[in-house]
Structure 1
Amino acid sequence: MSRIGDENIVTSAASSRRRPESLPQLHSVGRPVKQTIWQELGHTFKETFFPDDPLKSFKDQPPSKKFVLGLRAVFPIFDWGRQYTLGKFKSDVIAGITIASLCIPQDIAYAKLAYLKPEYGLYSSFVPPLIYAFMGSSRDIAIGPVAVVSLLLGTLLSPVIDPETNPVEYTRLALTATFFAGVTQAALGFFRLGFLVDFLSHAATVGFMAGAAITIGLQQLKGLLGIKKFTKETDIISVLESVFSQAQHGWNWQTIAIGVSFLIFLLVAKYIGKKNKKLFWVPAMAPLTCVILSTLIVFVTRADKHGVQIVKHIKKGINPPSADQIFFTGPYLLKGIKIGAIAGIIALTEAVAIGRTFAAIKDYSIDGNKEMLALGSMNIVGSMTSCYVATGSFSRSAVNFMAGCQTAVSNIVMSMIVFLTLMVITPLFKFIPNAILAAIIISAVINLVDIGAVILLWKIDKFDFIACMGAFFGVIFISVEIGILIAVCISFAKILLQVTRPRVALLGNLPGTTLYRNIQQYPAASTIPGALIVRVDSSIYFSNSNYVKDRTLRWLADEEELNRESNLPKIQHLIIDMSPVIDIDTSGIHALEDLNKSIQKREIQLHLANPGCVVMTKLYDSGFVDVVGQDNIHLTVGDAVRACNRKIQEETA
């Protein structure tokens, strides 16, 4: 790092005798218009909860118009439905049929993952998609049960009530959890608290999803290998012990033959669809094809009499009402609320992430709060119609997108096909082998392991990588809920670390310019003799104010020692670039006051460059401007350097 002077610093006797009036006129930082406390609170409240100003379109409208606008705000289908065309309907029908062929076998499999009867999976792809189609703002999300949430429910509910010994009470608890999952989602949307979901970082989500995928896949070894006695634990050690302890007598070769052969078929179909996007229908139709073929094989060969486990029975008919089955009182109420809240947030996180992904691809926007209300409403209604937690499915949404869906009508088409399935076809599913359901689940969750995203995390941010791995290992070695807890804790730890230890940069001048940049990023940048320029890349709050002060003083001490060793001029001015500081509290102001007192003892003058409106208001109100001096608060770092130059001239004149 070179230590040459800026052209504005006096370097000759002639220039040192120039009159201060001959220097460029410096701009001063004005005092902002002071707001009342109610104006400040109102602005903060609006930006936090209503940044989109949802009532803007209602202003100055007649009552009839307000009613129509309100109806369109709650039910977006009445908004985009006005431009709906026959061409869009044809595309939605094709997409709906395609995702229905994928969702039916997946629904049956995911219900078993949640320890529920197979029909509950189909129920959850009938009512919730209809509700979402009217209330959701995404055009591409396909609604229904998903693997991660199904696993989560099964993991959290089964320790409370054993699904094998008491299936009726277990189902009631699942419906209770679904109800409160919906209440949680709807409340977040109604009170516009969707920003809370963002506290679960992308890195933690990647790790959690990957861990859940491996856990789900390992648990499917029970069905894939024909094991009858299997552990209820989800950690990898317990699962592998359960698998290999029964290797000699617990495995069924007929089941293995059916399961592995069709799993290979599913993976090959998935590979074909990935290589050629035009053949998206191949992996979409593969699960239903597997179900049909395997059912025929079992029926013809009567493999069920040779140890091949089958579904046996799926109840015929549409969703029965279940509002009276929900626990609103009793010992299971609190458990239902807790499990429902966890499942609701995880389901919400997955759905919002999927919706934003496809909205970005198609260049349209989704309303996060409307999404939460839609998801919450469909799960509340679903819990009263024998459905368990439904959300956006990534695999089905991807197929929906590639099939050319135009609107949420594709969900309605899918729902109608599921309706026909429940009314007519379910008795034919009796001979579906469990191995096929296991194969379908394994092939579906493979995409949840995003190795590319993990590598990218390692390259970009090591702390994000640690968060990802913490969530991943927490899920596979302990439990799903511990994995979620680790993910949330690491996400919060990162936030706290960034807040309490903000970046503080040492600035230098880029030769030939009036720009001042971080000397670590720009090695050619030169520090200014007689001055130290520091930039604080964060708001200054009680949590980091002492660190900012101490870090600045340490830099000052280091630079003074380096100057003595190099026989360079003593530092006389400390310039703090306040451009990135968007806010400051009383602790931050006290820290600046303490910093000013400390450097005054060393005969160093404090200068502030470009403080923002909010910061400047607080500096005035606290009296700090009078302490440091109005003349020492500058519009830019360049102005501050020129002011230092002027003072040096005055002292040497």
Structure 2
Amino acid sequence: MPRAVSDGGEHMDSEIASRSSSHRRVDSVQHAGYKVGFPPKKKLLDEFTDAVKETFFADDPLRQYKDQSRSKKVLLGLQHIFPVLDWGRHYTFAKFRGDLVAGLTIASLCIPQDIGYAKLAGLLPQYGLYSSFVPPLIYALMGSSRDIAIGPVAVVSLLLGTLLQNEIDPKKNPTEYTRLAFTATFFAGVTQAALGFFRLGFIIEFLSHAAIVGFMAGAAITIALQQLKGFLGIVDFTKKTDIISVMKSVWKNVHHGWNWETILIGACFLAFLLVTKYIAKKNKKLFWVSAIAPLTSVIISTFFVYITRADKHGVAIVKHINKGINPPSASLIYFTGPYLAKGFKIGVVAGMIGLTEAIAIGRTFAGMKDYQIDGNKEMVALGTMNIVGSMTSCYVATGSFSRSAVNYMAGCHTAVSNVVMSIVVLLTLELITPLFKYTPNAILSAIIISAVLGLIDYQTAYLIWKVDKLDFLACLGAFFGVVFSSVEYGLLIAVVISLAKILLQVTRPRTALLGNLPRTTIYRNIDQYPEATLVPGMVIVRVDSAIYFTNSNYVKERILRWLRDEEERQQDQKLLKTEFLIVELSPVIDIDTSGIHALEDLFRALEKRKIQLILANPGLAVIQKLRSAKFADLIGEDKIFLTVEDAVKKFAPKAAENV
């Protein structure tokens, strides 16, 4: 904490000065024994280089290559692209045992989910299995997360299916629909990889956590409602996703469209799945009960339908899943024609959502195990796997929270668990897919409903409500947008509200009137500290934000309003007239030309009132720009202080002594 200079102050100043001069020349102004630094102005190229480095390369990715031999640099470069070359050197059999168990566990969960998610995306069931074979292998080579489980997920499947069906009817034109899905997957991968390669990952941060919570909850409700078609055995079902259209379609078919055998199968196994989830939640050691429940349900329900031939009594079944591994699909991607732009648009949206979900999941589990993941590296890995996936009959894959949680609890150590899962899916495609012929659609609907219920995070929503009402508005807007309109409109509302919140905070920054805490040299917000006392003859204001063109005029007007309010209070209570306005700038990290013009206007307005403007503790960027704009000369460098206390002692010594 700054304090008044003692008898040894001159010695301290000379020591600091000599130390500074030994490193670099720094102009300064001295106040009360302290120095407000005026660093020399940087060259334009250096200033630009520093700004780019801090924006895109804050983690200094090249530092590890310094002072290394050429062969070492090549090895480090390959390890940066393929982290498996790093952690693979230390891989042990003990780790493999954990990865083997985890991989087998998530495979039992992913196989039935993948079939259901493919139907959710409007694709044939085998495409869901394809998407859990190739992408996990690519991610295991390039990803940096140890816990994330890769494959199709409910939200992205719904989003992709909704956007694709807006362009092509999958029943009338199944081939074109599938080709557009591959095209969208390709551009989703390109988007993800480009964001990581150009280190633009900060773009996804513009979607606030609150908006994501609301969007995910709304998507979960929408997905569950979509499953009523298979759960109730309805044939004629609406293509719209909003809750009103879905409920109208459900009630329209209540007398002649519902199938009681289908409902019985779906209800029984949904209850079974929910009970196993409850058991796993109560006892973490029994997580495997919930993990194997979907595959168990598929096996039992398929066997039941086969022996009873329930499919002849109106129970809808999967019927056919192509046998064999992923066929090549690079030639099916639209690189020309009218569907190119449509595929690009859909791919960008799906890629951003998939990226947001995967990065959030990766960071969550990395924090739980106390290791770090490289966000940009993750984006490149996810993008690459989707680009390769689009050429091998896969649709958009990303990190699944439910499978990643099971992977974590099953004791995975590395991404080898994804490889194990992929091998199991391969064996399924080669050997077992014909056995899914009699799998009822109702069981797939029950599996999806039980899976998406976990996306409704009501505890976090309640916490958001208690902490920040504006955040809760973003959460609510995204939720209702998805539920009552569509997934894409819900996403748009989430983005708009998130950006609106940023703009509101940027254009209307907080300011505070400061007072002195008795018997200290500390000045704090009088609203937060009622015991803080105002300094007679002075108004002290703190600006809690950078001052840019978006808020400069507001900051000036708000400071003048503080001044007017204090002048009215002084007149009413017959107090000492204000002679000094101190602006505390320590929270102001930057200022632009509009901000400087606003300070100049403030200075002139104060001059007319015969009030002196004083600045306290401007930061490095601020003081450099104030000096370049000659504002420091305008108000006088003797009006720029290191602390509010220094300014008070200089211009109101009697008042300071009485504080």
2:332 aligns with one of 322, 325, 347: 325
- Alignment of 1:245 with 2:252, yes or no, is yes
Alignment partner of 1:366: what SS? coil
Partners of 1:28 and 1:633 within 8 A in 2: no
1:501 aligns with one of 491, 508, 519: 508
Partners of 1:28 and 1:631 within 8 A in 2: no
The C-alpha deviation readout for 1:430-462, integer Å capped at 9, x for no partner, is: 000000000000000001010011111111111
Amino acid at match of 2:350: A
- Alignment of 1:533 with 2:540, yes or no, is yes
Distance 1:423 1:269 in 2: 30
Matching residue of 1:270: 277
Equivalent runs, 1:479-628 vs 2, <5 Å: 479-628=486-635
Distance 2:223 2:212 in 1: 16
Equivalent runs, 1:371-382 vs 2, <5 Å: 371-382=378-389
Matching residue of 1:434: 441
Partners of 1:107 and 1:118 within 8 A in 2: yes
Alignment partner of 2:583: what SS? strand
Moved over 6 A (4+): none
Partners of 2:135 and 2:389 within 8 A in 1: yes
Q: How does the TM-score come out when normalised to structure 2?
A: 0.94
Amino acid at match of 2:113: Q
Q: Shift of residue 647 of structure 1?
A: 9.1
Alignment partner of 2:122: what SS? coil
1:174 aligns with one of 176, 181, 184: 181
- Alignment of 1:70 with 2:77, yes or no, is yes
Equivalent runs, 1:346-361 vs 2, <5 Å: 346-361=353-368
Amino acid at match of 2:530: P
Q: Shift of residue 615 of structure 1?
A: 0.5
The C-alpha deviation readout for 1:578-625, integer Å capped at 9, x for no partner, is: 000011011111111110111111111111000001100111111111
Alignment partner of 1:30: what SS? strand
The C-alpha deviation readout for 1:129-156, integer Å capped at 9, x for no partner, is: 0000000000000000000000001100
Matching residue of 2:215: 208
Amino acid at match of 2:624: T
Alignment partner of 2:524: what SS? strand
Amino acid at match of 2:59: D
Distance 1:303 1:639 in 2: 87
Matching residue of 1:282: 289
Instruction: Describe the shift of the 1:172–1:509 C-alpha distance in structure 2 as closer, same or farther (beyond 3 A).
Output: same
Matching residue of 2:400: 393
Query: Could you tell me the percent identity over the aligned residues?
Result: 70
Aligned residue pairs: how many?
629
Distance 2:594 2:191 in 1: 36
1:416 aligns with one of 418, 423, 426: 423
Partners of 2:535 and 2:655 within 8 A in 1: no
Matching residue of 1:459: 466
Q: Shift of residue 540 of structure 1?
A: 0.4
Q: Shift of residue 648 of structure 1?
A: 8.0
Amino acid at match of 1:237: I
Distance 2:397 2:32 in 1: 66
1:308 aligns with one of 311, 315, 319: 315
Q: How does the TM-score come out when normalised to structure 1?
A: 0.95
Alignment partner of 2:338: what SS? coil
Amino acid at match of 2:216: M
Distance 1:347 1:292 in 2: 30
* Unaligned ranges ≥5, structure 1: 1-6, 9-23
2:191 aligns with one of 154, 170, 184: 184
The C-alpha deviation readout for 1:218-272, integer Å capped at 9, x for no partner, is: 0100000000010000000000000011000100000000000000000000011
Alignment partner of 1:505: what SS? strand
Amino acid at match of 1:295: T
Matching residue of 2:343: 336
Instruction: Describe the shift of the 1:509–1:647 C-alpha distance in structure 2 as closer, same or farther (beyond 3 A).
Output: closer
Distance 2:222 2:202 in 1: 29
Matching residue of 2:21: none
Q: Shift of residue 527 of structure 1?
A: 1.0
Amino acid at match of 1:199: F
Amino acid at match of 2:86: D
Distance 1:470 1:648 in 2: 52
Q: Shift of residue 58 of structure 1?
A: 1.6
Q: Shift of residue 62 of structure 1?
A: 2.2
Higher relative contact order (CA 8 A, sep 6+): 1
Amino acid at match of 1:68: L
Q: Shift of residue 33 of structure 1?
A: 2.2
Amino acid at match of 1:315: N
* Unaligned ranges ≥5, structure 2: 5-30
1:109 aligns with one of 116, 119, 143: 116
Amino acid at match of 2:108: S
Distance 2:638 2:109 in 1: 70
Distance 2:481 2:651 in 1: 55
Distance 2:398 2:153 in 1: 7
1:365 aligns with one of 364, 369, 372: 372
Alignment partner of 1:529: what SS? coil
Q: Shift of residue 331 of structure 1?
A: 1.2
Greater alpha carbon shift after TM alignment, 307-316 vs 49-58: 49-58
Q: For the aligned residues, what is the CA RMSD?
A: 1.4
Matching residue of 2:170: 163
Alignment partner of 2:534: what SS? coil
Distance 2:356 2:367 in 1: 17
